[in-house]
Structure 1
């Protein structure tokens, strides 16, 4: 039994496909199949039911947590060796929060720790959760509460609430009454821009899509350009459109029959013991400072974890 076999097993479970797992691991499907056959022969059991979709057998389901524990332990050991050789911090963040939360934080952090390697990875909710699960990153910034069934052991350090206003172009806003209804707005801009800011769309966001004549789902960049041209309206997290609203390129509207939304995000770790590393704790504090600027801090547990760490207790003596 080797780590390549276990990683292949875990990847197939996640992707429910030998083909997709092989592509993710950058190996051939034949190699993936060979690794699983070797693992099954070693264990003396069949791990997968192979068919149109790949599912775990009862034996495979039983073995899965042990395989992931071995993978996690190996990754922790490798990371520990890397940190001994050279200082390194790694975090994962939702794409929409990399620029508003991490850019300035990183500049201040690097002034204090110029020789430390910093890894910042971005992605969607499930990707960040997977990075934490696989210990590719030490801290993550994702939507909260987390509803990913594969990753349940996350500890929130800071929970931030950010406004998600409904915005349109100035030309559209000028044609609206002082207290428009959502029907009046949709009569002028029938296309709704759907952005996956949440793990699951709030009812009001889903209702807006249902009411519209047409909708389009886009990443942030193209969606923002569509709104700027007056070709669509949508709920944007405030940090994505704050400068546009301030400059008058976009206008926030509040239909009388449609309440504004918010999104909660959290800085999370799998184990608060990572805060015993001063450099990581400092980087997290810098990001927390930016979080307070971008949104409202509705829960701050960072000081609780730091005060309970052995390093903090020694420092307080």
Structure 2
């Protein structure tokens, strides 16, 4: 079985004609017939009912989706090889960090590497660890330190610390005393919003859930809307609610009996050898600039591992 046989099979199904399929593929009708006979002999079934119009047998109908899957996979593989020839970097990030860290850094990076393909995947901690483990991506942005048992040999390049304030709706905050205790806050909101910002919840976050009458675990978007409506409070990473706080929709509060929280995240690679690719090292540096704007950099090993080099000259497109 080869791709020519499968493509011929697929084309005949589409055109319902050996003659039309042969013309489309730029082969003779005899060649098209020979390919299908060889495929039928290999599979041990008859694929077509030949007649004035060509239709699939039950066996042909069953085989068709598998043939198209093989053709599609081959096309994807060929396109992936073409991208490698142009240059390609692939990273994965926690969902909450894709927008604040990747957008601007990607624009700057592609000004200098306009022909390089960039693949950015998002997910939870375990999904990113799995992508690194399977080498689907070259660099990951995840919570640090990593306690996922799947991947233990990660090399941190830049570690960022981000505040995780407790926030409530503006009208709820207006009803609180100047130095509230958590019991006063919980008396004004019906539920605690639990968001999995960490691999394991800190005791402060776990205690808040235990003290609440009810709790709900939600993704970031619905959780923000619930908090803005005054229907809950929760610990949000600063980047997720900075615009809401600035606009006055949410207000940070600091109960006197609750400690402030933070989250550490890191840009990591499986091996420092990955940084031998200048384009990957340069992209990581651009992301590091956004990390410095968003939080506190508590460890930066990138320049120690790979000294900074001048940007490559932008490629000049052919006329």
Q: Is the 8 A contact 2:162 2:264 kept in 1?
A: yes
| Runs of 4 or more above 4 Å deviation | 80-84
Q: Tell me the CA shift for residue 275 of structure 1.
A: 1.1
**Which structure has the bigger radius of gyration?**
2
Structure-to-structure mapping, 1:53-68, within 5 angstroms: none
Partners of 2:128 and 2:200 lie apart in 1 by: 16
Q: Which residue of 2 aligns with 1:12?
A: none
Partners of 1:218 and 1:161 lie apart in 2 by: 23
Partners of 1:100 and 1:178 lie apart in 2 by: 32
What does the per-residue CA deviation read over 1:95-154, in whole Å, with 9 as the maximum and x for residues that have no partner?
A: 000011001111111111111100000000000000000000000000000001110010
Q: What stretches of structure 2 of length at least 5 have no aligned partner? A: 1-77, 311-319
Q: Tell me the CA shift for residue 190 of structure 1.
A: 3.0
What does the per-residue CA deviation read over 1:253-280, in whole Å, with 9 as the maximum and x for residues that have no partner?
A: 0000011100000000001111111111
Q: Which residue of 1 aligns with 2:102?
A: 102
Partners of 2:97 and 2:84 lie apart in 1 by: 30
Q: Which residue of 2 aligns with 1:200?
A: 200
| 1:188 aligned counterpart, secondary structure | coil
Q: Tell me the CA shift for residue 282 of structure 1.
A: 0.8
Partners of 2:81 and 2:158 lie apart in 1 by: 29
Partners of 1:103 and 1:191 lie apart in 2 by: 34
| 2:239 aligned counterpart, secondary structure | helix
Q: Is the 8 A contact 1:82 1:88 kept in 2?
A: no
Partners of 1:244 and 1:83 lie apart in 2 by: 40
Q: Which residue of 2 aligns with 1:147?
A: 147
Q: Which residue of 1 aligns with 2:284?
A: 284
Q: Which residue of 1 aligns with 2:230?
A: 230
Q: Is the 8 A contact 2:83 2:117 kept in 1?
A: no
TM-score relative to the length of structure 1: 0.71
Q: Which residue of 1 aligns with 2:53?
A: none
Partners of 1:277 and 1:82 lie apart in 2 by: 18
Partners of 2:227 and 2:248 lie apart in 1 by: 13
Partners of 1:156 and 1:170 lie apart in 2 by: 38
| 2:299 aligned counterpart, secondary structure | strand
Partners of 2:242 and 2:195 lie apart in 1 by: 16
Structure-to-structure mapping, 1:249-260, within 5 angstroms: 249-260=249-260
Q: Is the 8 A contact 1:194 1:218 kept in 2?
A: yes
Partners of 1:195 and 1:252 lie apart in 2 by: 16
| Shift in alpha-carbon separation, 1:192–1:98, aligned structure 2, 3 A | same
Q: Does 1:246 align with 2:246?
A: yes
| 2:187 aligned counterpart, secondary structure | helix
Partners of 1:181 and 1:220 lie apart in 2 by: 25
Partners of 2:170 and 2:287 lie apart in 1 by: 33
Q: Tell me the CA shift for residue 84 of structure 1.
A: 4.9
RMSD: 1.9
Partners of 2:182 and 2:138 lie apart in 1 by: 43
Partners of 2:262 and 2:235 lie apart in 1 by: 9
TM-score relative to the length of structure 2: 0.71
Partners of 2:193 and 2:270 lie apart in 1 by: 34
Q: Which residue of 2 aligns with 1:111?
A: 111
Partners of 1:195 and 1:175 lie apart in 2 by: 25
